A and B are shown apart, each in its own frame.
Chain A
């Protein structure tokens, strides 16, 4: 019996360590980014960071063009993916019969599982030439191409999270609306969607968050020119994102050089952006759960 007790204690504490591992890893990631990235703040002056040239070989470390590039591509991706993702989610959750849903959901999940490098590959060989011809551009490698493909990558997240949210709206809500004489169309827009609002918002945030952090696709299709985007026209010119900069340059810098630390500093910026997005998304989820608990009790 003694041996059994001992085993139980050992296993329980092992499982507890596993449980806390997620916190440990997030902490370690942050610590290592700070450790490698903070020297950049000492070695590079603030003015240098905030000017408009990214040319590391001559010690120009303006990160604004990179942040701007990430923003342009992400906003473009959001414009594509939010309407398409939400309408698909509504269609799958509210309109189609069950058997169609059983086909559509796995299909969208497959899109979510496609490696980003493969979508970049399709982008280079199919989408870029098509865009260049259709829009009569000097090069198809533009922010627009990145937005198009990143939008596609954000869609699975948006669809599956908001579909779950719509699915979680109690059936009685819909029945009440229909009993009052509303059509199914009216029920969707006036009852179901507003009831699932916070879940849908979470879906959009997580989807767009994924687009900001995407690396390989943007590196392959956006042309990688570090030019500060100005106005709508920059959507049709090459841009360079923060993620692509790290991916393209980290392989070639000497460990411990200023350039190396600056790339880690960009990593910190990316980490903080994703932390903010996810903390807000998480707080929405927790608030929703609390409200659900209040209603149920």
Chain B
């Protein structure tokens, strides 16, 4: 508190010019340092995205997207990996969206603040923090071995669904809580039951926020590799899955395989695969951002 003492010592006198000069100079220096540190954080992000697109786009053609890999993945396209990731994302959504929204409705609309609700919140925080590879182990132990689902789309989707659950629950709960209470009061006073109020009033109002959360959760699921390593991912499977009990290739795992496990892999195919995965993820990210800002603009409350 040295400055504070100096300052009070000067009270009553004319504020020393050099002192205030020094403080201004200090602030300018500090803000410059903060700006530089922030640039050091942000510029690499842009560089990564530009690097991948500039190196990868030349390798992406229509054939690359719709053909099967040939010649030990060193030629041809990546269709099975793209379809696999689509299936897995869809499968994850089927399980995690209803469950996550249900849990958020419970926390926001039904639960009272007691010990059990606190336990649920702590469990959600913990689910969000469990390492992705531990989800992979859990999926292997429960779905693949114990429930005998084998390495299959359904086992992978269930594993990814549990992993995305905390993201969907917390964003949905936030969206539900943002709906003003007066909306609920009006609905109840008109004779609506609790569920009718939620279904007809609260959910429609919170829908954009919920969608944002769902897309962000699925974005994470689509890009994850560790949880699918032992539950669904196939190293090389040049055909499309025919049922949910089939194993499948997936984009993130495919990128891992061709960048570390296959010698003599053409760099063009590696970057091409990276571009497709990045586009997939960025599209979801942009979708979420657009939904959010669109909803903010047209919100009536």
Q: Which residues of A contact B (CB under 8 A)?
A: 4, 7-8, 11-12, 14-23, 25-26, 28-29, 32-33, 35-36, 83-85, 87-88, 90-92, 95, 104, 106-111, 113-122, 124-126, 152, 155, 159, 181, 183-186, 206, 209-210, 212-216, 220, 243, 246-247, 250-251, 255, 263-264, 267, 270-271, 274-275, 277-279, 281-282, 285-286
CA gap between A108 and B230 in the complex, in Å: 31
CA gap between A120 and B52 in the complex, in Å: 13
Q: A108-B41, A117-B255 are in contact. Are A186 and B127 (CB under 8 A)?
A: no
A251 touches which of B162, B230, B270 (Cβ 8 Å) = B230
**B31, CB-defined interface residue at 8 Å:** yes
Q: Which residues of B contact A (CB under 8 A)?
A: 3, 7, 23-24, 26-27, 30-31, 33-35, 37-38, 40-42, 44-46, 48-49, 51-52, 98-103, 105-107, 110-111, 116, 118-138, 140-142, 145-146, 162, 165-166, 169, 193-195, 216, 219-220, 222-226, 229-230, 252-253, 255-256, 259-260, 267, 270, 274, 277-278, 281-282, 284-285, 289
Within 8 Å CB of B33, what residues of A? Answer: 87
Q: Which residue of A lies closest to B107 (CB)?
A: A19
Q: How far is the CB of A14 from chain B (nearest CB, A)?
A: 7
Within 8 Å CB of B230, what residues of A? Answer: 250-251
CA gap between A282 and B129 in the complex, in Å: 11
**Contact: B38 with A88, CB < 8 Å?**
yes
CA gap between A210 and B30 in the complex, in Å: 29
**Contact: A108 with B45, CB < 8 Å?**
yes
Q: A109-B285, A278-B126 are in contact. Are A215 and B38 (CB under 8 A)?
A: no
Within 8 Å CB of B229, what residues of A? Answer: 247, 250-251
Interface of A is mostly: helix
A19 touches which of B27, B106, B146, B220 (Cβ 8 Å) = B106
Within 8 Å CB of A277, what residues of B? Answer: 129
| B111, B135, B223: residue with the most chain A Cβ atoms closer than 10 Å | B223
Interface of B is mostly: helix
**Contact: A107 with B121, CB < 8 Å?**
no
CA gap between A91 and B26 in the complex, in Å: 16
**Contact: B38 with A87, CB < 8 Å?**
yes
**Contact: B48 with A25, CB < 8 Å?**
no
Q: How far is the CB of A192 from chain B (nearest CB, A)?
A: 13
**Contact: B133 with A32, CB < 8 Å?**
no
Which 4 interchain pairs have the tightest Cβ spacing? A213-B131, A18-B102, A19-B106, A115-B223
Q: How far is the CB of B224 from chain A (nearest CB, A)?
A: 7
**Contact: A32 with B195, CB < 8 Å?**
no
**Contact: A87 with B289, CB < 8 Å?**
no
Within 8 Å CB of A122, what residues of B? Answer: 48, 51-52
CA gap between A119 and B37 in the complex, in Å: 21
A21 touches which of B99, B136, B145 (Cβ 8 Å) = B99
CA gap between A72 and B219 in the complex, in Å: 30
Q: A19-B111, A32-B141 are in contact. Are A279 and B223 (CB under 8 A)?
A: no
A185 touches which of B26, B51, B253 (Cβ 8 Å) = B26
**Contact: B277 with A84, CB < 8 Å?**
no
Q: A19-B107, A271-B130, A286-B118 are in contact. Are A8 and B195 (CB under 8 A)?
A: yes
Q: Which residue of A lies closest to B40 (CB)?
A: A84
Q: A32-B146, A185-B30, A255-B145 are in contact. Are A19 and B103 (CB under 8 A)?
A: yes
B195 touches which of A12, A104, A119 (Cβ 8 Å) = A12
**Contact: B256 with A220, CB < 8 Å?**
yes
**Contact: B131 with A214, CB < 8 Å?**
yes
Can you list 26 contacts pairing A with B, beta carbon distance less than 8 Å? Answer: A12-B110, A14-B102, A15-B102, A15-B105, A15-B106, A20-B120, A21-B102, A22-B123, A22-B165, A87-B37, A88-B37, A90-B34, A91-B37, A110-B282, A113-B220, A117-B252, A117-B256, A117-B277, A125-B267, A181-B7, A183-B26, A185-B23, A216-B256, A274-B129, A279-B122, A282-B125
Q: A35-B141, A216-B252 are in contact. List 14 more A-B contacts (CB 8 A).
A: A4-B193, A8-B193, A17-B102, A22-B123, A28-B142, A88-B41, A115-B222, A117-B253, A183-B23, A216-B256, A264-B137, A270-B133, A271-B131, A277-B129
